Amino acid sequence: MNNIDTVTLNFSAGSLSLLNGILAIVMFGIALDLKLADFKALVTAPKSLLAGMVSQFLLLPALTFLLILAFEPMASIALGLILVAACPGGNISNFITHRAGGNTALSVSMTAIATFGALIMTPFNIAFWGNLYAPTRAILQSITIDPVSLAITVGFMLLLPLILGIFLNSYRPALAARIRKPMQWLSMGIFLAFIVLALAANWGFFLQFAGMVAVLVVVHNALAFGAGYFTARIAGVSEYSRRAITIETGIQNSGLGLVLIFGFFGGLGGMAVVAAFWGIWHAISGIALATLWSRTEAKR
What pLDDT shows up at residue 18?
Answer: 72
Average pLDDT of the residues in 40-68: 88
Residue 34: Cβ within 10 Å count: 24
pTM over 0.85: no
Instruction: Please report, to the nearest 10 degrees, the dihedral formed by the alpha carbons of residues 155, 140, 264, 114 taken in order.
Output: -30
At 1, the pLDDT band (50, 70, 90 cuts) reads very low
For the ranges 11-20, 41-50, 207-216, 231-240, the one whose mean pLDDT is highest: 231-240
Q: Give the separation between CA 118 and CA 97, rounded to whole angstroms.
A: 21
Fold assignment, 13-293: Na+/H+ antiporter like fold (1.20.1530)
Residue 102 has pLDDT above 60, yes or no: yes
Q: How far is CA 72 from CA 135, 217, 268, 273, in A?
A: 9, 14, 18, 17
**For the chain, what are the domain ranges?**
13-293
The pLDDT tens digits for 180-193 are 888 877 777 776 77
The predicted pLDDT at position 182 comes to 84
Q: State percent of the chain over pLDDT 70.
A: 85
State the pLDDT at residue 285.
93
Q: Are 219 and 26 in contact (CB under 8 A)?
A: no
Q: Report angle CA 149, 150, 155 to the nearest 5 degrees.
A: 95
Does pLDDT of 144 surpass 80?
Answer: no
Q: Which residue has the higher pLDDT, 8 or 273?
A: 273
Q: Phi/psi at 252 (nearest 5 deg)? A: -105, 155
Contact at 8 Å (CB) between 86 and 254? Answer: no
